[in-house]
Structure 1
Amino acid sequence: MNLFKMDDLTNRDLHGLLDLAHKFKTNEMDQSDLNHKTGALLFYEPSTRTKLSFEMACHKLGIQLLGFSKESSSVTKGESLYDTVKTVEVLGADFVVIRHPDQQYYKQLEGVNIPVINGGDGSGEHPSQCLLDLMTIQEQFNDFSNLNVTICGDIKHSRVAKSNAHALSRLGANVRLVAKDEWQDHELPYPYVNLDDVLNDTDVLMLLRVQAERHDEQSYDENAYLRSYGLTVEREAFLPDSSIIMHPAPVNRGVEIDSSLVESSKSKIFTQMENGVYIRQAIIYNLLHKRGSFL
């Protein structure tokens, strides 16, 4: 069993992983039986939170990690992704986490016999980020049914938007999207709205990073973006008291969100990062403990 996309998980799987992550967070889990396991993190794109939280999750589980750097590996000599993963497999790794710029890179990996966890595939999906976001929302609201979730930003290029919109809708939330015209993805079956029209009934405002590295255009006006699509101090005042602000990070302060709001009382941005460790523990533990199957 692999974790490539959110559709690989049933709703029962989702809730099971959330429950398991909560047990890790509250120290209710015995995880000592994974001390003999080995993993590998193959990151072909830059990462801070995802890579470090997978490393911390492995550390907490007692799992050893094989070192890998794209720049100092045989990737620079033309080695294929498949051959790199097969090498890691035959050297004794029990699982691999991969982040890669190619969407659906995992289609190249038929014949790999260890679990593969998708750490992000281009503009495709980011399942572990989605799960940590779900955990953060669940901690605040307990349930997902009828929550109004507004996802705002670079929808077209965001793997987070795709994973979260589909999963939240499946769990009963009402998903709305906000994006400038050229950053809209009309393959997503959710309505596009004006941010100012929905602030007063938004339970979860999920902001997205502007992914300039995936854009054809050379630049955009950051100040104009904040005024039109970002969370300003003035807009934050219209959010309900019970609402929460989320962002997968890295945060472009003063672009997607006013810097003063990143650690405001409504913000769960750093809580998301913390929960990333527990969710990634749950994913790895479940795949290894269940011998490659989900709950």
Structure 2
Amino acid sequence: MDNETGITMFTLSGLNGTANYRVALFALTFLCYSVIWLLNVTIIVTIIVTKSLHEPMYIFLCNLCINGLYGTTGFYPKFLNDLLSNTHVISYAGCLLQGFVLHSSVCADFSLLALMAYDRYVAICRPLVYHSVMSKQRVCVFVFFAWLVPYYLISMGTITTFTTRLCGSHIPKIYCVNYLIGKLACTVSITNTVIPAFNYTFYSGHFIFIIWSYVYLISTCLTSKEKRKKFMQTCLPHLFCLLTLVVCLLFDLLYMRFGSEGFSQSAQNFMAIEFLFFPPIINPLIYGLKLTQIRNRIIQFLCGKRL
């Protein structure tokens, strides 16, 4: 897959200077990736095999965990390979694919979190119509579009990036993202500006909707002890996971947009991978500990009892 300039490979400079401790870094990264798989697969399997958990909230959570595995798979295998290699390069096609996976995973996170916020709003504020509003058919449609829309929007950005004429092949990071590939363009393209701007605005709208729904939920729950208990049990984990994702992404976006020349390379790398480290671990962990039904099913399974 070539572009007009004939560039077929990109160099990644984020791992320069890690030769002295690459083995230790490889071991820690492999451990982290293994923990991510263990936690997320545990939640996914628990929800799938337990019929009582086949409800909208748990279905959305299951998809959130699947998306966590999808996004991290776009980064960790390549990163682990780079840690054992003396050259840190990636093919042009591989760079576009990695950028697509990472971007679409983040966008799908926001879509699924927005669905979870809507589900909690209906469950707490409109409980009498919950089962009609969140029917199995509608849940399937919601989940379908939660995956489809991010894929479509990010694919448009990937296609425009692919058609852009590049004048460089050096990416100052440990992984590829469309924004950094676009910065290598020989000329500024309106399309490469409009599409990312639309995507940022679109998913910022998701964030605003989630925050609004929780502000409304909090004001509603103050009037009822039962609603407060339900909010504390099912909504706080969701809100904590949302804030974790947003904070991690803000660090990465600020790093890409404004640079961080005053930070060491290790600090820059940490800011770059925060959203690939904290949310995939915290999401299944916090839900597994806080949601009683999931926690009880996991304990029963570990104790050898029938689910």
Shorter-chain TM-score: which interval? under 0.3
Q: Please tell me whether Structure 1 or Structure 2 has the larger radius of gyration of its CA atoms.
A: 2
Structure with greater proportional strand content: 1
**Higher relative contact order (Cα pairs below 8 Å, separated by 6+ residues):** 2
Structure with greater proportional helix content: 2
